[in-house]
Chains A and B, each alone.
Chain A
Amino acid sequence: MKHPVNRRKLRASIGLHTLLTVLSILWMLPVFWLLISSFRKEPGAYTPYLWPKAFTFDNYIRLFTDTRLFNFPRWFMNTLFVAACSCMITTILTLMVAYVYSRLRFKSRRAIMNISLILGMFPGFMSMIAIYHFMKAIGLDQTLLALILVYSGGAALNYYIAKGFFDTIPKSLDEAATLDGASKHTVFWKIILPNSKPIVVNTAINAFIAPWVDFIFVSVIMKDNYKNYTVAKGLYTMVDRANIYQYYTVFCAGSVVVAIPIVLLFIRLQKYYVAGVTGGATKG
């Protein structure tokens, strides 16, 4: 009786694995393309053939040593700094807001949530110009601090996912703690947060990545202040019309260098997505 079921499972399993293999090759193709372009010896964005004629490591060396026009090492440190700061601020703010809306009940709660929802619907660009002039008025334009503020300023609006997660943590946990005399403050730090690693990580990753990938706010805030660029804006400048032939392969190399820390972070932190959190928490 058991045998045919197993065979069917095996067949399904092989099918699924084949499908996943095909899909992942499809997904990785541009990444692979980026990698080989970063080692390509011939300059230029377009070649009439696919496989490079010769490989070299020069693009990477140029990226870090040739700082006359583009100071990549400096941009990298800028971005790392901005990303670390705004990641910390954003994560804390987002989790605080999400906890308030998920667990605390007070008079103006629904009103504030609705207002937040409405504010989130305005296109972000609309505020760009105003923010720039505001920063200029307080003497912060073209600084990294301005960028940190801009990236973490909207944190109070991005609470949905974290709130959705907190909503799924059983309330009986809080109630048990409250009976033991814990204040709301203690419940937040000692019960909700330790049980929410996946969402803390999710929020932190998203916040950390934002500065690495945004080139619009940087353009608006930094204007032509090259030395305070982040990698995104810097690399983007490398492939504008005047520089693309000379710098395309260097751009690819730079992109690889930028992608590496982010990819490593993803892999390292992935286990938090995997760990089941609430299952069994109330049983003990």
Chain B
Amino acid sequence: MKRFWKDFAQGDLWVKGSCLVMGLGCLKRGQIVKGLLYFAAEILYFLFFFGFGWKYLSHFHTLGENAQLRVWNEEMQIYQRVPGDNSMLILLFSVLTISVTVLFICLWAMNIITASRLYQLEKENKHIQSLREDGEALLNERFHVTLLAAPMTTLLLFTVLPIIFMILIAFTNFDANHQPPGNLFTWTGMQNVTDIFLGNATKTRTFTGILGWTIVWAVFATFTNYIFGMILAIIINSKLVKAKKMWRTWFMIPIAIPQFVSLLLVSRALEPTGAVNVALMELGWIKTPLPFLTDVTLSRLVVIVVNMWIGIPYTMMTFSGVLMNVPEELYESASIDGAGPVRRFISITLPYMIFVTAPATITTFVGNINNFNVIYLLTAGGPASLDYYQAGKTDLLVTWLYKLTVDQHDYALASTIGIFIFMIVSICSLAVYNRTGAVKKEDMFQ
């Protein structure tokens, strides 16, 4: 930072001018195209800001003052709607404008840094990169810029902006009674958070109850799949098993079928008049249908077991891929050292598999905390409970969030829960992530 100001202060007129007219420095030192691009970016930004952004940003602190009105039109003898401010759009485009501004400031700083660097180079009579050399650098030492440009843009638009938007929603009263464009919503500070923890007994009970089950579920779902998937992969890849391809295919067919089909089928089959109960009764094992989906304990067991059916083939596939890529050299040296098959497995295959799959396992765990499909399609969160606020006994935080969003339009509360999900997930996984070797000894197997 200090260096930035020092370079700037020492720069000539062209460097200083760059802070008003971007790209001046580049233009002066012969980087014409780069200079013009900087200048074009500046013009575009100001057009965007004054033509579009400011309209929304100026209402950001209140999220709109004029509600939609119904005005009697004497001529046509009807009520006409006079559109008011749309809180939703104000918030959305304010976030967009602020993000674009941040990016623009970065670009502006880059422009000055470039200008003062070019100035130094010229003063010392050093070579100034031509456009062609800049282009070549983008394919070699600055290749990461080229590769990351597109992914980062999509990330910004489809992940970062929406997340910022939804975080902000958590501090408003955007619920069923405050729906734009008809009504305005506005900032309410920490109201939603205090509701969940102190203000509202039902919401507090629902939150803690669902949180507890979500964690139990995620642990069981992840580790049953991990362990059994690994075992299955090892069995199929063992030298004793013939027709490996066929077995893999066999287990892949069920998961190739979309979950909303297979899980809906299973869910229907588990109902009192469904196939499972019919089969059990025809076999004479039970007299009355088992309440698979309506008994709390049984339904929780059912979702974990059915999740194994869905998940094990996936882990099996991942592990098969990994198993086949264990570097042969590792085995060769182990054989020379006289290690037997069991020893080889414990000291080479197993650590290698855990190393390669560690990040994926964390992702799976997070995925299970947010495992919408299995719960929603199988039990829809049921059995419903009167103790809970709009939720049932197998609901995860994420399915509760979904119900609040889609059925109740209670966006503010849903966003608050979303933030808590995020906090729980990030704390869990950062703790685990920093402990696994995959991060610290990233170069070990390379």
Chain A residues close to B by CB (< 8 Å): 9, 12-13, 16-17, 19-20, 23-24, 26-28, 30-31, 33-34, 37, 45-50, 93-94, 96-97, 99-100, 104, 106, 109, 112, 116-131, 133-134, 137, 149-150, 152-157, 160-161, 163-165, 167-168, 170-171, 183-185, 188, 198-199, 202, 209, 212-213, 215-216, 219, 232, 235-236, 239, 252, 255, 258-259, 262-263, 265-267, 270-271, 273-280
Contacts and interface: CB of A to CB of B under 8 A. Distances in A.
Contacts of A30: 254, 262, 265-266, 269, 309
A140 to B, nearest CB: 12
Given A20-B235, A20-B236, A133-B88, A266 B152 contact: no
A215 B254 CA distance: 19
Given A119-B160, A213-B259, 9 more contacts: A16-B235, A93-B151, A123-B397, A125-B372, A128-B162, A137-B92, A161-B359, A259-B257, A278-B327
Contacts of B258: 212-213, 232, 255, 258-259, 262
A17 B241 contact: yes
A33 B269 contact: yes
Interface stretch (B11-19, B135-143, B216-224): B135-143
Contacts of A125: 372, 398, 401-402, 405, 414, 418
Given A168-B445, A259-B257, A16 B252 contact: no
Contact of B158 (A131, A161, A270, A271): A131
B425 interface: yes
Interface in B317-347: 317-318, 320-321, 324-325, 327-328
Interface stretch (B30-38, B77-85, B273-281): B273-281
The 7 A-B residue pairs with the shortest CB-CB distance in the complex, in nearest-first order: A153-B158, A127-B162, A130-B162, A156-B151, A185-B139, A279-B328, A184-B143
B261 A50 contact: no
B344 to A, nearest CB: 15
B133 interface: no
24 contacts: A16-B238, A20-B236, A28-B250, A50-B279, A96-B147, A96-B150, A100-B144, A118-B426, A122-B163, A122-B421, A125-B402, A127-B158, A130-B161, A130-B165, A133-B89, A160-B360, A164-B359, A167-B356, A171-B446, A183-B140, A258-B258, A267-B249, A273-B320, A278-B325
B8 to A, nearest CB: 21
A153 to B, nearest CB: 3
Contacts of A216: 372, 402
A52 B238 CA distance: 40
Task: Identify whether the interface residues of B are mostly helix, strand, loop, or mixed.
Answer: helix
A185 B325 contact: no
Contacts of A167: 356, 442, 445-446
Contacts of B317: 273
A126 B418 contact: yes
A168 B443 CA distance: 9
Nearest to B174: A129
B148 interface: yes
Interface of B: 88-89, 92-93, 136, 139-141, 143-144, 146-148, 150-152, 154-155, 157-163, 165-166, 232, 235-236, 238, 240-242, 244-245, 247-254, 256-262, 264-266, 268-269, 271, 273-275, 278-279, 282, 309, 313, 317-318, 320-321, 324-325, 327-328, 356-357, 359-360, 363, 366, 370, 372, 397-398, 401-402, 405-406, 411, 414-415, 418, 421-422, 425-426, 429-430, 433, 438, 442, 445-446
Contact of A99 (B147, B266, B271, B421): B147
B92 A134 contact: yes
Contact of A235 (B88, B260, B359): B260
B256 A266 contact: yes
Contacts of B147: 96-97, 99-100, 104, 188
A253 B39 CA distance: 59
A34 B446 contact: no
A234 to B, nearest CB: 11
A188 B89 contact: no
Contacts, number: 292
Contact of B325 (A117, A161, A198, A271): A198
Q: Which of B146, B158, B309, B445 gathers the greatest number of chain A CB atoms within 10 Å? A: B158
B261 A255 contact: yes
Contacts of B250: 24, 27-28
Contacts of B405: 125, 128-129
B275 A50 contact: yes
Contacts of A24: 247, 250-251
A231 to B, nearest CB: 8
A169 B279 CA distance: 51
A193 B325 CA distance: 15
B256 A161 contact: no
A57 B112 CA distance: 72
A266 to B, nearest CB: 5
A46 B268 contact: yes
Nearest to A149: B158
A168 B256 contact: no
A185 B142 CA distance: 10
Given A137-B89, A263-B256, A277-B325, A156 B161 contact: no
B241 A16 contact: yes
A133 B261 contact: no
A49 B247 CA distance: 31
A252 B433 CA distance: 42
A96 B380 CA distance: 38
Contacts of B370: 123-124
Q: Which of A119, A153, A236 gathers the greatest number of chain B CB atoms within 10 Å? A: A153
Contacts of A156: 151-152, 154-155, 159
Contact of A274 (B141, B324, B406): B324
Contacts of B414: 125-126
Contact of B313 (A13, A27, A276): A27
Q: Which of A28, A123, A155, A163 gathers the greatest number of chain B CB atoms within 10 Å? A: A123
